[in-house]
Amino acid sequence: MKTIEVCLTPELLRQHSIVEKVAVVVDVLRASSTMITAFAHGLNRLMPVAYVEGCVALQRLDYLSAGERDGAKVEGFDFGNSPYDVMSGDLKGKSLAMTTTNGTLAIEKSRSAKHLLIGAFLNLSALADRIKELNEDTLILCAGWKGQMNLEDTLFAGALTSLLTNDFEIRGDSALAAQLLYENAQDDLYEVISQTSHAQRLNKLSADDDMRFCLKKDEYDVVPFLEDEHLVVNV
C-alpha cells in the first residue's frame, strides 16, 4: 500500500524524501486557495515565483501579476493574494505570475517531486480523487508561516489524510496528528481557525471574507499541477 506523510513546514522538508513522490502543496490562507480559484475562473497557466523581482520581470512578458508580502498586496501588481481578486479579473486564456510570503516558496522547494499538486479546502475531494488515480507515495507539504507551522494548513492536511486512509498507509506522527486535529475541529473550522495567528493578521487587513471563503469545501473540481515551469490544469 502506498503511504501518505505530512510535512508541517518547509523547514522540515529536509527530513523527508520527496523524489518519486506526489507532493501536495497547501497554503490555505491564501495562496493555494487563490491559485485554485484563478484556474476555476479560466486562467491558462500560472508561474509560481519565490521573489517579487521574478514577478516584475514576467510582467514585461505580458504576464498578469499577483502577490503579497506579509498579507498585503504588492504595489504595482494586478492582484493581491485573494480569491476575490482573481474572481473579478479577466483571466480566461491568460498567464499569471504569482509570488507570496509562504506558498510560492513551498512550491519552489517541491519541484523535485514526481508530481506536484496544489491543494486547499476548495478542491479537497477532487484532489483526493486525483491522488488516488496517481497511486504514488504522497507528501502533503504545509506552507506554514515564515518557516513555522500553522494550524490552518495542518488542519487541511488532516482533512486530506482522512479522505485517503482507506487507500493509503499513514506514515509518521505528523500525519496522524493532523488527522486527529481535523476530526476534532471539522464541525467548527471557522471558529478554530479564527483564533490562529494568520487569521489575526488577515483581520487587520479586513480579509475575514477571504478566510470564510477559503474554508469552503469542494467549491471547485480543478487540481492545478506543475508541468515544466508552470502550474496548469487539465481541460
pLDDT at 203: 75
Whole-angstrom CA distances from 71 to 39, 80, 107, 169, 199 are: 21, 9, 18, 36, 10
The per-residue pLDDT of the chain, averaged, comes to 94
pLDDT at 205: 74
pLDDT at 26: 98
Identify the CA nearest to 50 among candidates 101, 6, 114, 116. 101
pLDDT at 235: 58
Whole-angstrom CA distances from 166 to 2, 3, 103 are: 11, 11, 29
Whole-angstrom CA distances from 153 to 33, 79, 174 are: 11, 23, 12
Strand partners of residue 95: 45
What tens digit of pLDDT does each residue of 102-133 get? 999 999 999 999 999 999 999 999 999 999 99
Q: How far apart are CA 143 and CA 31, in angstroms?
A: 9
pLDDT at 88: 84
Q: How far apart are CA 168 and CA 136, in angstroms?
A: 9
Pair 68, 202: CB distance under 8 Å: no
pLDDT at 216: 97
Output the nine-digit C-alpha cell for 225: 499541477
Q: What pTM was estimated for this model as a whole?
A: 0.96
What tens digit of pLDDT does each residue of 162-205 get? 999 999 999 999 999 999 999 999 999 999 999 888 778 877 77
pLDDT at 202: 76
What tens digit of pLDDT does each residue of 52-110 get? 999 999 999 999 999 998 888 999 999 999 999 999 878 999 999 999 989 999 999 99
